[in-house]
Structures are given as structure tokens and as C-alpha cells.
Amino acid sequence: MGNELQHRTVLLEEAVDALVTRVDGVYVDGTFGRGGHSRAVLAKLSEAGRLIAFDKDPQAIATARAIEDPRFTIVHESFASLAPALATRGIERVAGVLLDLGVSSPQLDDPARGFSFRADGPLDMRMDPTRGESAAEWLARASQQELTEVIRDYGEERFAVQIAKALVARRAESDRLGPLDSTGELAEIVARAVKTREKGKDPATRTFQAIRIYVNQELAELQVVLEAAFASLEQGGRLVVISFHSLEDRIVKRFMQAHASGPAIDRRLPIRAVDLPAAPLRIIGRVFAGAAELESNPRARSAVMRVAERVAP
């Protein structure tokens, strides 16, 4: 079912325009998805250009394998393995790295993937169901403290304590009820534990986001890929990151700001301005979806794209 579902690429032209500064460069698309950005990058590159794309999701990989283009390589790995993946291919420097974070519409819309609280399905939530622990497996073993922290920190959920308690209480009944292994039941338990409703938001939204981030180690892997992308960028190379919630956008913003402000200097030492090392990154800007895109693609509403350029070695 998964591959028939469509993904509407967000900020397509904006991202590709910001990314591709020379048509014969080597580029990375860390989040292939259904290849919207990748195809547009390939269309812009010359014969000498190259694109290395990553995705954790076997369904995304199947779509990518259908691209017959000698300039294109797909890697079934987390983008966190960017550095070793480039090294094995003998690539030292790249002209740009694009990350369009989070989950794709096919992942969200297929109940069998277990990401959605809207349709009942197995409680999985792994971008790569062939590796690691599913959401159901984690919920079956996590302590109440761990559940509270994940739901509070990754979901920014006010009722994290109450939800964690309810989950542990449900687990105590596993002999009678069987394991908690469906998205529908998780959504019901959360809805009962959340005491006040946010307008226009399902009460399970925050908890599902939190568990998904935890199961896929999304924030930790983002930190790793930002460092690796920065280290691999050639001078003039671009880092383009599209985020969909404040936790990931904050990490991207802080990362770019930290590298754009130059190394820490001991101001008590007599240093002339000309001796100050230049900051390695220049922040180019922040872009949101325009009115036309917002109208046709509701997913674009929460998208924020940040762009920075490597200006010094």
C-alpha cells in the first residue's frame, strides 16, 4: 500500500534554489522520501553533478531504486551516517546538504506504519521497520519516569505525568487485556489522561510526536548530521534544513548561530580585528511557504527552512 500514497514536497523550488550553487557539484539529500527534492536537484545538475540521497524507510528506498540516473546514488541508512557513507564513496567535500526533516505523508497516511492516531494500526512508528525497537516494544518496557520525560520533553505535553501513569496502569493489565500494541488504543488512553483540550488539536498529537521522536532518535541524529554536513561542506557550500516543529527548528537555529558567530575569543587578550578568525558559516536566512503553497498543501503550514553557507574553511 505504502508506495501508492503520495507525498507533496514542501518548499520545492525554494529549497533547490537555495541548495544548488554550482551545477557540477556533489550534493546530498539526507531525506529522500518520495524524491521530490532529489528529482528537482538532478534536473538542475549538469552531467558532471552528483547526488547522494539517504532514507531510513525501505518504501522510500524502493522508490529511489527506480531512478535510473548514473549521477544518483541511494543509501539505505540514517543521515546520521553521512560522514562514513561519504568516506566509503571517496567523497571529501560536498557542495550542499539538504534535510527535509520528519515523516513523509505516505508514512503518516498508511495505518500499517503506526504513526497515525487518526486510523487504527499496529503501534510501530519506526521509519525503518527492519531495525530497532517499535513504539509498542518501548512502551512495554519503559519506566514511568522515562515515559514522563519523553512525553514532556519531545511532546512539550503538560499532561506528561498523567499520561505516563495511565500507560503504566494499562501495562499492569497486560495479562488480561494483552499488550498495548495499537495506535487506536494508545490514542484513547492519552485522550482520557489529557485534561484540557487545545483548539483544533487531537489530544494525542503531542504524545504521538514524542514517541515517534524517541523511537527514531530524531533529535540526536539531527545533531550528528548537522555536524557531519558542516564538516563536509566545501567553501561556498550550502546547508538547507526544513523543520516541522519547534524542537528541531531550535536545534538547527542554534547550530547555525553557533558556527556563524566565530570561535570564542578571550577578549582580555590584545587581539587586532585583522587577526580574528572568520566565522565558518554565514546565515543566509529563513523561509516560510508562500500563500499559494499553504492553500494547496496544509503540511507546509508548519514548515520553516533555514539556509547557511560555508564561507571559511
Ligand X SMILES: C[S@@+](CC[C@H](N)C(=O)[O-])C[C@H]1O[C@@H](n2cnc3c(N)ncnc32)[C@H](O)[C@@H]1O
User: Can you say which residues are annotated as belonging to the binding site?
Assistant: 35-37, 55, 79, 100, 107
| CB-nearer residue toward ligand X: 31 or 116 | 31
φ and ψ at 152, to 5 degrees? Answer: -70, -50
Q: Which triple of cell numbers denotes residue 11?
A: 518548499
- Based on the shown chain and the rule CB under 6 A, indicate whether residue 127 belongs to the binding site for ligand X: yes
Distance of closest approach, residue 33 Cβ to ligand X, in angstroms: 2
- Rg of the chain (C-alpha set): 21
Phi-psi region of 244 (alpha: psi -120 to 50; beta: other; left: phi over 0): alpha
| CB-nearer residue toward ligand X: 31 or 148 | 31
> What is the total count of residues that contact ligand X (CB under 6 A)?
22
| CB-nearer residue toward ligand X: 40 or 190 | 40
User: Which stretch in 26-34, 45-53, 130-138, 161-169 sits in contact with ligand X by CB under 6 A?
Assistant: 26-34
Q: Which helix (H) or strand (E) holds 26?
A: strand 26-29
Indicate the residue whose CB is closest to ligand X: 33
- Based on the shown chain and the rule CB under 6 A, indicate whether residue 100 belongs to the binding site for ligand X: yes
- Based on the shown chain and the rule CB under 6 A, indicate whether residue 114 belongs to the binding site for ligand X: no
- Non-local CB neighbours of 123 within 8 Å, separated by 6+ positions: 114, 134, 135, 136, 139, 180, 181, 182, 183, 186
Distance of closest approach, residue 37 Cβ to ligand X, in angstroms: 4
d(CA 262, CA 11) in angstroms, rounded, equals: 30
User: Which stretch in 72-80, 111-119, 150-158, 170-178 sits in contact with ligand X by CB under 6 A?
Assistant: 72-80
DSSP for 226-280 reads HHHHHHHEEEEEEEEEEESSHHHHHHHHHHHHHHHS-S---TTS---GGGSPPPS
- Based on the shown chain and the rule CB under 6 A, indicate whether residue 221 belongs to the binding site for ligand X: yes
Site for ligand X in 36-65 (CB under 6 A): 36-37, 54-57, 60
In which residue are the cell numbers 492553500 written? 295
- Based on the shown chain and the rule CB under 6 A, indicate whether residue 159 belongs to the binding site for ligand X: no
- Based on the shown chain and the rule CB under 6 A, indicate whether residue 115 belongs to the binding site for ligand X: no
- Based on the shown chain and the rule CB under 6 A, indicate whether residue 203 belongs to the binding site for ligand X: no
- Based on the shown chain and the rule CB under 6 A, indicate whether residue 126 belongs to the binding site for ligand X: no
CA distances from 306 to 174, 248, 298, 300 (A): 45, 11, 20, 14
- For residues 134 and 125, the answer to whether their CB atoms sit within 8 Å is yes
- Based on the shown chain and the rule CB under 6 A, indicate whether residue 102 belongs to the binding site for ligand X: yes
d(CA 143, CA 256) in angstroms, rounded, equals: 35
- Based on the shown chain and the rule CB under 6 A, indicate whether residue 79 belongs to the binding site for ligand X: yes
Enumerate binding residues for ligand X (CB under 6 A).
7, 9, 31, 33-37, 54-57, 60, 78-80, 100, 102-104, 127, 221
